[in-house]
Amino acid sequence: MQGKNYLMIPGPTPVPPKVVAAMSTPMFGHRTQDFQNLHQEIVAKLQKFFQTKNEIFVLTSSGTGGMESAVANTVNPGDKVLTLVGGKFGERWSELTRAYGAEVIEINFEWGTCVDPQAVKEKLEEHPDIKVVFATQNETSTGVVNDIESIGKIVAQTPALLVVDGVSGVGGIEIKVDEWHVDILTTGSQKSLMLPPGLAIQSISQKAWEKIEDNKSPRYYFDLLKARKSYAKWNTAYTPAVSLFVGLNAALDMMLEEGLDNVYARHKLLRDATRAAIRALGLKLMAEDYYASPVVTSVYAPDGIGADDIRKVLTKEYGITFAGGQAQLKNKIFRIAHMGFAGKMDVLIAISGLEMALARVGYPVELGAGVRAAQQVFLGVQS
Ligand code: PMP
């Protein structure tokens, strides 16, 4: 469609004009005092976000590269690892650890449900030699947020490390790295952090460093020991995405100005309004209330209607892009992101567009019912 477009997928997400402007700053070298100052400033801000005193590495890579870094630096061939799988990104941990020769024990949770921490406890008791547990904070493929705090408490009582994929959640969903015993938290730039794709950010605990120092897996670009040497001088081992670092600093400033609690509360409000609207339209939500993601909502298409048909109408006629379902959820669900640079009016646009698209594909919709339900959540009035 010509004209205005509304990007409502769980990454990449819209980038605020302030961040775009910051990134157009003239290029400067990365072996300079200016870069070192910027790097130091960014890490201090990220430590507030991650709620940690750990070192935080800003890697020039997509989110999956950060995940690979976590695996390559902690997993040797033959090591036993536990992956917690409730969607496509949990599966990615299994694929990655298998690629590095690990003996992978997988706990599968039905897609659309969350990880049961008790099951993690039982598996760790059954296999006390598990070296690393791989979890996902926000399972983007299903719109589910996992209870990292409870998982962290359990893993902390064992020698195992806890590695968490926070690619889509960090920035929109609170995470307390130190208090929740997250040994490696790894995230990406293009989702709740409001940046273009290209950065993977990860924190490393002391417990993790001990395993990393002993690690034998081949690694080069993602060698964290090499990264740590450069980090000591606020450098990076290889050329960083300088412009994205500048953008990250600006994005972090915006979020810190808003206040972290306000950022998290805003995402929850957007989730609640979206869910109220979906229910008012008679559609089925994938996740239960208590583990529904604050940053992305997954919705089943009505019986007999393809989710992708609804999405096609939305894009073609209204310039709105929702994400589709992945793997076995293809054409069954659509996903509405409300992460990062998203506000109340974005939800109202998404829902009003959805109502029209539903009408177009032949679903009996009461126009305005979803919008009204969302407005009522925003106004704090009972429906
Ligand atoms: N983990 C999660 C939870 C994600 O949502 C994504 C991106 N959709 C990734 C990992 C992979 O990130 P990237 O595509 O940047 O490699």
pLDDT tens figures, 180-234: 999 999 999 999 999 999 999 999 999 999 999 999 999 999 999 999 999 999 9
- What torsion, rounded to 10 degrees, do the Cα atoms 161, 164, 170, 175 define? -50
**278 and 210 in one domain?**
no
Q: Is residue 13 part of a domain?
A: no
Residue 154 covered by a domain = yes
Confidence of residue 2 (pLDDT cuts 50, 70, 90): low
Q: Is the CB of 168 under 6 A from ligand 1?
A: yes
Structural domain tally of the chain? 2
Please give the distance, rounded to the nearest whole angstrom, from the Cα atom of residue 36 to the centre of ligand 1.
28
Residue 354 resides in a domain = yes
What is the pairing mode between strands 138-139 and 144-145?
Answer: antiparallel
133 band by pLDDT with thresholds 50, 70 and 90: very high
d(CA 170, CA 200): 11
Whether 249 and 359 map to the same domain: the answer is no
Beta strand extents in 62-165 (DSSP E only):
80-85, 103-108, 132-136, 138-139, 144-145, 161-165
pLDDT category at 332 given cuts 50, 70, 90 is very high
Indicate whether 200 and 280 sit together in one domain.
no
Pair (151, 194) in one structural domain: yes
- Whether residues 308 and 189 share a domain: the answer is no
Average pLDDT over residues 136-165: 98
Q: Which run of H or of E encompasses 201? A: strand 199-204
Question: Where is the domain boundary, 257, 283, 306?
Answer: 257
**Co-location of 248 and 263 in the same domain:** no
Cα dihedral 123, 125, 126, 130 sign: positive
> What CATH number did the domain enclosing 73 receive?
3.40.640.10
Q: What is the mean pLDDT of residues 128-146?
A: 98
In a domain, 1, yes or no: no
What is the average pLDDT across 316-344? 97
24/168 Cα distance (integer angstroms): 25
- Parent domain of 358: 259-379
Alpha carbon of 283 to ligand 1 centroid (Å): 27
370 within some domain: yes
Give the pairing of strands 103-108 and 80-85: parallel
Does residue 151 share a domain with residue 133? yes
pLDDT at 23 over 80: yes
In the structure encoding, which two tokens stand for residue 140, read together? Answer: 């983007």
CA distance 319 to 313: 9
Over range 338-364, report the average pLDDT: 98
pLDDT at position 382: 77
70 and 59 within one domain? yes
The pLDDT confidence band at residue 155, using thresholds 50, 70 and 90, is: very high
Cα(101) to ligand 1 centroid in Å equals: 22
Q: Write down the pTM of the prediction.
A: 0.98
CB neighbours (10 Å) of residue 31?
10
| Mean residue pLDDT across the chain | 97
* Among 208, 242, 257, residue at a domain's last position: 257
Do 97 and 238 reside in the same domain of the chain? Answer: yes
327, with CB counted inside 10 A (0-12, 13-18, 19+), is exposed
> How far is 17 from 214, CA to CA, in rounded Å?
44
Examine the domain organization and report whether 267 and 220 are in the same domain: no
- Residue 338: pLDDT over 70: yes
Would 8 be classed as within a structural domain? no
Answer whether 76 contacts ligand 1 (Cβ < 6 A): no
We report the CATH number of the domain holding residue 307 as 3.90.1150.10
Contact 161, 186 (CB under 8 A): no
CA-nearest residue, atom 6 of ligand 1: 167
Query: Are 224 and 89 in the same domain?
Result: yes
User: For residue 166, which atom of ligand 1 is closest to its CA?
Assistant: 3
Distance 359 CA to ligand 1 centre (A): 33
Q: Tell how far the Cα of 376 is from the centroid of ligand 1, in angstroms.
A: 33
For residue 1, pLDDT over 90 is answered with no
Q: Which of 257, 290, 324 is the last residue of a domain?
A: 257
Strands 6-8, 80-85: pairing kind: unpaired
Q: What residues form DSSP beta bridges with 296?
A: 337
Is 125 within a domain? Answer: yes
Question: Is 66 close to ligand 1, i.e. is its CB under 6 Å away?
Answer: no
Say if residue 60 is in the same domain as residue 70.
yes
* Residue pair 372/382 in contact by the 8 Å Cβ criterion: no
In this structure, is residue 5 part of a structural domain? no
